[in-house]
Amino acid sequence: MHFAVIARIVGILLMVFSATMLIPAIISLLAADGAVMAFLIAFVLCFGCGGIVWLFVRRARSELNIRDGFLVVALFWTVLGCFGSLPFLLAEGLHLPLSDAVFESISGLTTTGATVITGLDELPVSILFYRQFLQWLGGIGIIVIAVAILPILGIGGMQLYRAETPGPVKDSKLTPRITGTAKALFLIYLYLTIACTAAYWLAGMSGFDALCHAFSTVAIGGFSTHDASLGYFDNSMILIIASVFMLLAGINFGVHFFAWRSRRFYHYLRDSETRFYLFAVLVSCVVIVSFLAYTKTYTVQESVLLGVFHTISIATTTGFAAADFAVWPAFVPVMLILLSFMGGCGGSTAGGMKVVRVMLITKQGIRELKQLIHPHAIIPLKVGNKRVDAKTVSAVWSFFAVYMFSFLLILLALMASNMDYTTAFSATSATLNNLGPGLGDVSAHYGDVSRSAKWVLCYAMLLGRLEIFTLLVLFTPAFWKH
């Protein structure tokens, strides 16, 4: 383990991250909302701590190995998650307790979008901006890590994207060095955000709301600047725009990269994961809309609009709401929450287990049925036109099992803290899948949850965002032995 180099990276990261505090500080100054000192103190603390660490190890240089990679990725979210909580702790009239401040910060950075704050509409605008901006940063963080680093670490079968890049990507490698890749992905992310901001603004949002919600949409975060989320605007066009951009943000940014570079739209449809994703969302929309219309929860027209919007919002793990879906016939919220276990594509900002894994598991299930009927046949497992090697398949399976197991442990921990079943089930799903809103006591916000439960949920958000294994591997003795 190269601790000095890792410390150097974390130090630099903190110093860069401290710049994040300056933008809301400026906004606070302009709006005179009284939060400027909170952001300046947070800036000094972040920059100072990062700088001190950096000073001590600034000369450290060596190649990082795979184990260092795990530690860097895990530290990215835990360290930034902790330092990101400073403005919530310090801001006048907010002064969240530690558990709440860390929860809000981790929820933003992991793009979960579960909030402990109520009365958003009365909050200082700088704090509102900061919350949305945290998600946006977390979003580009996970894209770069998922596209450029996780395939190298080989977590949960993500080597799929390395050795066996599916469909159109196969002939042309992503810019090989991580920095080059990161730059390309960042530009796509930026363009998407600009387009989304413009669309929201044209549909009638204020410039501030448009930018804030674009951050939230493209990052699949789900934080809003209003307690009523997107329902506040009461505007069908905004729901349609949100649906389109959530759907786009749920696609692998590597696929975006190749489709945009070659300017060929069909690249999307040639990628088997994207096809599976769009098909699954389509089928779910049809089921949910039909159910809403059939049970006369809404008129047919409203069922289509609200059904499609909420299906995309929850299936991609964004978590925006335009109506209180927790009070719809129980089938709908439960089916939606189950959908969030799949989430979006790998290499996107979405949470959940990722489409590519669910697709592989489905294919393997069908393959197994065929194998039972023809026990001596050799039936290969393919993604796109490429055969998937046994190691990758077994990594995906293990991911699935460990995901389920983590889910159960967190569920039981919450229930042991005396949470009721619906709340515990939905809170576990909503945090582990980086979804955000739940049902029961957490359908609107997480403010009323006990302090110990909040820490458990913070852990669940990190576990989900770090694809379980990145965090879990740190708890094994073998990781720390040489």
* Binding site residue list for K(+): 111-112, 220-221, 317-318, 434-435
Instruction: Quote the CA–CA distance of 342 and 165 in Å, as a whole number.
Output: 20
- State in angstroms the smallest separation of the CB of 281 from K ion: 16
Eight-class DSSP state of 316: T
Contact set for K ion, span 207-246 (CB under 5 A):
222
User: Please, are residues 427 and 442 in contact by the beta-carbon 8 Å criterion?
Assistant: yes
Instruction: Quote the CA–CA distance of 28 and 6 in Å, as a whole number.
Output: 34
CB atoms within 10 A of CB 48: 13
Choose among 273, 307, 276: nearest CA to 289: 307
Choose among 320, 257, 406: nearest CA to 111: 320
CB closer to a second copy, 177 vs 370: 370
CB closer to K ion, 139 vs 156: 139
Contact set for a second copy, span 67-106 (CB under 8 A):
67, 70
- State in angstroms the smallest separation of the CB of 308 from a second copy: 19
User: Please, are residues 282 and 361 in contact by the beta-carbon 8 Å criterion?
Assistant: no
Q: Which stretch binds a second copy (CB under 8 A): 14-22, 237-245, 258-266, 395-403?
A: 395-403
Annotated binding residues, written as ranges, equal: 111-112, 220-221, 317-318, 434-435
Applying CB under 8 A, the site for a second copy has a residue count of 55
Instruction: Quote the CA–CA distance of 460 and 405 in Å, as a whole number.
Output: 12
Q: Which stretch binds a second copy (CB under 8 A): 28-36, 172-180, 255-263, 357-365?
A: 357-365
Contact set for a second copy, span 151-190 (CB under 8 A):
153-155
What's the token pair of residue 481?
């032995």
Q: Which stretch binds a second copy (CB under 8 A): 20-28, 254-262, 359-367, 445-453?
A: 359-367
Q: Among 436, 437, 438, 464, which residue sits at the site for K ion (rule: CB under 5 A)?
A: 436
Q: Which stretch binds a second copy (CB under 8 A): 113-121, 192-200, 385-393, 450-458?
A: 385-393
Contact set for K ion, span 91-120 (CB under 5 A):
113
Eight-class DSSP state of 446: S
Q: Which stretch binds a second copy (CB under 8 A): 83-91, 115-123, 163-171, 356-364?
A: 356-364
Q: How far does CA 356 lie from the centroid of its chain?
A: 16
Eight-class DSSP state of 380: -
User: Please, are residues 80 and 13 in contact by the beta-carbon 8 Å criterion?
Assistant: yes
Q: Which stretch binds a second copy (CB under 8 A): 22-30, 197-205, 327-335, 345-353?
A: 327-335
User: Is 464 among the residues that bind K ion (CB under 5 A)?
Assistant: no
CB closer to K ion, 70 vs 403: 403
Contact set for a second copy, span 183-242 (CB under 8 A):
none
User: Please, are residues 273 and 165 in contact by the beta-carbon 8 Å criterion?
Assistant: no
- State in angstroms the smallest separation of the CB of 434 from K ion: 5
- State in angstroms the smallest separation of the CB of 295 from a second copy: 9
Question: Coil, strand, or helix at residue 445?
Answer: coil
Cα-based distances in Å from 298 to 3, 68, 234, 306, 333: 58, 53, 16, 9, 15
Contact partner at residue 390 from a second copy, K ion, none, CB < 5 to 8 Å by partner kind:
a second copy
Contact partner at residue 372 from a second copy, K ion, none, CB < 5 to 8 Å by partner kind:
a second copy
Label each residue of 231-270 as H, E or C.
HHHCCHHHHHHHHHHHHHHCCCHHHHHHHHHHCCCHHHHH
- State in angstroms the smallest separation of the CB of 223 from K ion: 8
Instruction: Quote the CA–CA distance of 64 and 2 in Å, as a whole number.
Output: 7
Contact partner at residue 153 from K ion, a second copy, none, CB < 5 to 8 Å by partner kind:
a second copy
Contact partner at residue 436 from a second copy, K ion, none, CB < 5 to 8 Å by partner kind:
K ion
User: Is 469 among the residues that bind a second copy (CB under 8 A)?
Assistant: yes
User: Is 343 among the residues that bind K ion (CB under 5 A)?
Assistant: no
Sign of CA dihedral 26, 32, 35, 37: positive
User: Is 369 among the residues that bind a second copy (CB under 8 A)?
Assistant: yes
User: Is 421 among the residues that bind a second copy (CB under 8 A)?
Assistant: yes
- State in angstroms the smallest separation of the CB of 440 from K ion: 18
Choose among 390, 384, 317, 337: nearest CA to 356: 384
CB atoms within 10 A of CB 470: 25
User: Is 319 among the residues that bind K ion (CB under 5 A)?
Assistant: yes
Instruction: Quote the CA–CA distance of 175 and 261 in Å, as a whole number.
Output: 12
Sign of CA dihedral 463, 469, 470, 475: positive
* Amino acid at position 439, single letter: L
Q: Which residues of this protein are in contact with K ion, per CB under 5 A? A: 113, 222, 317, 319, 436
Q: Which residues of this protein are in contact with a second copy, per CB under 8 A? A: 66-67, 70, 153-155, 291, 329-331, 334-335, 338, 361-362, 364-365, 367-375, 390-391, 393-395, 397-402, 404-405, 408, 411-412, 415-416, 418, 420-422, 425, 469, 472-473, 476, 478-479
